[in-house]
Amino acid sequence: MELTRRDALVALGVAGTATGGAYAVSRLEDDDTAEAVVERLSHVAEAVYPSEVDVTHDFLETYVVGRVEERDGYLEGVTDALDSLDSYTRNLRHEGFGDAPPDARDSLLRYMGVDEAEPAPDGTEAERVRYYVVNELQYALYTTPVGGKLVGIENPVGYPGGLNSYRREP
Amino acid sequence: MTEDGRAPVEDADVCVVGAGPAGALTAYTLASRGYRVVVLEAGERFDRGDDERRMEESLRPAHDAGELWNMETGDGRDAYTSSGERYYPLNAARVKGVGGSTLHWQGMVMRLHEKDFEMETRHGVGRDWPISYDDLQPYYVCAEKEMGVAGGDDNPYAPPRSQPFPLPAFEPSYSDSLFSDACDEVGLEMHSVPNARNPEPYDGRGVCVGYGTCQPVCPSGAKYTADVHVAKAEDEGARVIDRAQVERLETDGEGDAVESAVYTTPSGTYRQDADAFVVACGGVETPRLLLLSRSRDHPDGLANSSGAVGRYFTEHLFVGAGGTVDQPTRQNHIGFITSESHALYDGEDPTPLGTKLEFLNYAGPSPAIEAMNADEWGDALLEDLRGSYGNHVSMGGLVEQVPTEKNWVTLDKTTTDNLGNPVPDVRWSVADREAEAIRAANTVQNDVLGAMDADVGWTVGPEDTGPAYHHMCTTRMGHHDDESVVDHRTKAHDLENLYISSSSVFVTAGAMNPTLSIAALALKTADHIDDDI
């Protein structure tokens, strides 16, 4: 199941709006930091998304652009959290998180304690990785129909899916 | 005028304290009739353009519920104590701000039944209201129109209606259809629910789009919130001053009339004079303000010659049960209910206390929330989510409490707020008779779930029941000034120009969500003020 730019707009809550149109044409060529965030998030997404989800660059790019435009402090927060994750990985493996083999990334996140960390934007390194990285990705997936349908709900909470789905038979 | 625009209004006819639904509707009605109205609101004016962010924060585990509508200001503005038999979580139960607690409410808007006004005569319970259902019915009609209530005529237990609902009821859910078969089996009639949200565009607000987060925030604006009528009041010329904490009301030299409201803002303390005053601060802050306003002429607090100010604090008691069934139930697509039952409401067995039953459309976990709280991710998380979502069913309900002197709001003089004023102390308990009514409701709920072959996983009974966050009866209405605070026109017995627009004037609570009755009484209060001034 593929996550597209459209799904990112849905997760941002701007699909179909004028603002969504603005995001749709946004690009990151002039923003190396944000482009790097997209790349680094994709490495984490490979670990924390189900294997049947195919994360496209367009999805992450659009989501990050939206977040940067919408939320003060987002870019700084996610960059710091990804830096912490990289730093932790380098101490263990002498390489960045993205350079670690995909099958090692899950373990690295767990070693760091991200799996059991309480998400907190101002918390410990693990708590900030949980908040800015893992939970951002989970929110972006499971509040969209793509993520919802994986579980069996086409109008998940947080998604404005209208007034038909709740009446529909299974 | 001060730099921040929070100075008093000159030559005000009416000063309304509180910008929740009661204050908003009272202010709007009077402003639209040409009165110069000023509204003083302790909380802030929220930017509703931030509702998408609020919704996300309500779903993400890092953010406390109190942050959402700024009920954790950190300076003690909303400090309180709870010294009764049961802890009362006051700040989870209210929002201070333009729109009041409707900003986070569920949006259920039922009329009280006829019996609710006559519980003493019919059943020897509490006191009769000094008004009847017939007196309030025209105001219910107006309130439904103002709020945009979506409802149907399929409730055989509902009180008489002179007008249809302004909007059609929401269609029943798939989950309701599963309950319907079970209710047929146990002989419990289901029917639609009056909702203060739009199934179609109404009054300039859009249609519900199914975000599923009605409580605590509706980003689409389809759910009615009282800032709608605050804006309308402003359009009619009313002035609304936010972040204006009213510390006390002061009377004239004779002590017969309120002369001014003393309020403090970030830029200083002011006095707002007016010809009439309306206290519309809900069931806790209304009695608190009256108690804080004690003076030489009113040594026990303003309007308190009866001693009833703060007494009889009454709530609705949540009752529920839920579990899983062996089939998909399609929960959590929307955040509101589409079917309920008033079948038990007017019965007398085992008690005459009102009981309302609800069939929930949001039973069990929501995958997005579960994912962000999980210790797993990837394929393992997905497997867990698939295992936990999809086959839950739940029933909820409200049971009536009987007003008692044992439950009351008073001042805790040992604890002060950000301005140095004593905070409210909420004393709350559950009586044996109410526990009996809860057990009876549990029995019916378990019968229905049993008819669905549900594996019942939880029941909220008398031991773990909680309040529905409906604060009532603390400045009750009555004919006599020795046992009630306001008269049948909601004017204080003791004062010439003080009115109370709030659920605090309820005499008994019924078991219906109170906001429609609050709105109806607010419109009635406005009529009386119009007559008087």
Strand B239-241 with B37-40, pairing: parallel
Query: Quick check: A126 pLDDT over 70?
Result: yes
Summarize pLDDT for B10-43 with one digit per residue, the tens: 999 999 999 999 999 999 999 999 999 999 999 9
Strand B191-192 with B339-341, pairing: antiparallel
Closest Cβ opposite residue A160 in set B170, B210, B328? B210
Summarize pLDDT for B447-501 with one digit per residue, the tens: 999 999 999 999 999 999 999 999 999 999 999 999 999 999 999 999 999 999 9
Q: Which comes out higher in pLDDT, residue A7 or B110?
A: B110
Gap between the Cα atoms of B180 and B119, Å rounded = 31
Share of chain A above pLDDT 90, in %: 64
Query: Quick check: B404 pLDDT over 90?
Result: yes
**Contact criterion met (CB < 8 Å) for A139 and B59:** yes
Query: Quick check: B397 pLDDT over 90?
Result: yes
Closest Cβ opposite residue B378 in set A47, A121, A135? A47
CB-based burial label for B162 (10 Å; 0-12, 13-18, 19+): exposed
Classify B1-48+67-147+225-315+402-428+471-533 by CATH class. Answer: alpha beta
Closest Cβ opposite residue A153 in set B211, B376, B389? B389
> How many interface pairs between A and B have CB atoms less than 8 angstroms apart?
151
Gap between the Cα atoms of B218 and B99, Å rounded = 13
Tokens of B291: 């108690």
Summarize pLDDT for B187-235 with one digit per residue, the tens: 999 999 999 999 999 999 999 999 999 999 999 999 999 999 999 999 9
A33 pLDDT band (50/70/90 cuts)? confident
Tokens of A92: 């263990």
Instruction: Give which of B310, B340, B357, B321 is closest to B452, Cα–Cα.
Output: B321
Neighbours of B422 (CB within 10 A): 18
Q: 């990050």: which residue's tokens?
A: A64
Gap between the Cα atoms of B422 and B80, Å rounded = 9
**CA of A61, closest CA in chain B: separation in Å?**
20
Q: Stretch A93-117: mean pLDDT, rounded?
A: 95
Helix axes B515-532, B133-147, angle to 10 degrees: 100
Tokens of B109: 């808007």
Contacts of B169 in chain A (CB under 8 A): none
Contacts of B60 in chain A (CB under 8 A): 119, 131, 135, 139
Summarize pLDDT for A73-99 with one digit per residue, the tens: 889 999 999 999 999 999 999 999 999
pLDDT of res. A34: 78
**Contact criterion met (CB < 8 Å) for B212 and A157:** yes
Share of chain A above pLDDT 70, in %: 89
Q: Which residues of A21-164 form beta strands (DSSP E)?
A: 54-55
> What one-character DSSP code corresponds to residue A96?
-
Neighbours of B268 (CB within 10 A): 12
| Contacts of residue B229, Cβ cutoff 8 Å, sequence gap at least 6 | B21, B24, B25, B27, B28, B146
Closest Cβ opposite residue B371 in set A138, A152, A161? A138
Contacts of A52 in chain B (CB under 8 A): 382
Share of chain B above pLDDT 70, in %: 99
Q: Are B242 and B97 in contact (CB under 8 A)?
A: yes
Q: Which residues are paired to B246 by β-bridges? A: B263
Q: Are B9 and B36 in contact (CB under 8 A)?
A: yes
A14 pLDDT band (50/70/90 cuts)? low
Q: Which residues are paired to B27 by β-bridges? A: none
**CA of A29, closest CA in chain B: separation in Å?**
27
Domain, as residue range, for A62: 2-167
Q: Are A42 and A93 in contact (CB under 8 A)?
A: no
**Contact criterion met (CB < 8 Å) for B59 and A158:** yes
The dihedral formed by the CA atoms of B153, B155, B160 and B166, expressed in degrees to the nearest 10: -40
Q: Which fold has domain B162-223+316-400+431-466?
A: Cholesterol Oxidase; domain 2 (3.30.410)
Contacts of B338 in chain A (CB under 8 A): 166
Task: Indicate the average pLDDT of chain B.
Answer: 97
| Contacts of residue B2, Cβ cutoff 8 Å, sequence gap at least 6 | B265, B267, B268
Contacts of B61 in chain A (CB under 8 A): 118-119, 135
Q: Where are the domains of chain B?
A: 1-48+67-147+225-315+402-428+471-533, 162-223+316-400+431-466
Contacts of A166 in chain B (CB under 8 A): 173-175, 210, 330, 333-334, 338, 361
**Contact criterion met (CB < 8 Å) for B378 and A49:** yes
Q: Stretch B253-261: mean pLDDT, rounded?
A: 96
**Interface probe with A: pick from B167, B173, B215, B333, most Cβ of A within 10 Å:** B333
Q: Are B98 and B230 in contact (CB under 8 A)?
A: yes
> Three-state SS for B337?
coil
Please list, residue by residue across B75-114, b when 16 or more beta carbons sit within 10 angstroms of its beta carbon and e when fewer do: eebbbbbeebeeebebeebbbbbbbbbbbbbbbbbbbbbe
Q: Does B221 touch chain A (CB under 8 A)?
A: no
Query: Quick check: B102 pLDDT over 70?
Result: yes
Contacts of B391 in chain A (CB under 8 A): none
pLDDT of res. B103: 98
A15 pLDDT band (50/70/90 cuts)? low
Gap between the Cα atoms of B424 and B406, Å rounded = 16
CA B321 centroid distance within chain: 23
Q: Could you say which residues from 187 to 206 on chain B have a Cβ atom under 8 Å away from some Cβ of chain A?
A: 199
| Contacts of residue B470, Cβ cutoff 8 Å, sequence gap at least 6 | B283, B315, B316, B503, B509, B513, B514
Range of lowest pLDDT (A17-26, A39-48, B167-176, B520-529): A17-26
Please list, residue by residue across B242-259, b when 16 or more beta carbons sit within 10 angstroms of its beta carbon and e when fewer do: bbbbbbbbbbeeebeebb
Summarize pLDDT for B281-319 with one digit per residue, the tens: 999 999 999 999 999 999 999 999 999 999 999 999 999
Gap between the Cα atoms of B161 and B153, Å rounded = 9
**CA of A8, closest CA in chain B: separation in Å?**
15
pLDDT of res. A25: 43
pLDDT of res. B190: 98
Query: Quick check: B66 pLDDT over 90?
Result: no
> What one-character DSSP code corresponds to residue B375?
S
Q: Are B135 and A128 in contact (CB under 8 A)?
A: no
**CA of A123, closest CA in chain B: separation in Å?**
10
**CA of B91, closest CA in chain A: separation in Å?**
22
Helix axes A57-70, A18-25, angle to 10 degrees: 120
A31 pLDDT band (50/70/90 cuts)? low
| Contacts of residue B18, Cβ cutoff 8 Å, sequence gap at least 6 | B39, B40, B41, B42, B100, B279, B280, B281, B282, B285, B286, B502
Q: Are B40 and B272 in contact (CB under 8 A)?
A: yes
Structural domain total, chain A: 1
pLDDT of res. A64: 84
Q: Stretch B440-451: mean pLDDT, rounded?
A: 98
**Contact criterion met (CB < 8 Å) for A119 and B60:** yes
**CA of A94, closest CA in chain B: separation in Å?**
25
Q: Are B242 and B263 in contact (CB under 8 A)?
A: no
Gap between the Cα atoms of B518 and A113, Å rounded = 50
Q: Does B336 touch chain A (CB under 8 A)?
A: no
A62 pLDDT band (50/70/90 cuts)? confident
Neighbours of A118 (CB within 10 A): 13
Gap between the Cα atoms of B63 and A66, Å rounded = 21
Helix axes A32-48, A135-142, angle to 10 degrees: 70
Range of lowest pLDDT (A58-72, B107-121, B212-226, B245-259): A58-72
Most distant pair of Cα atoms in chain A: their distance:
54
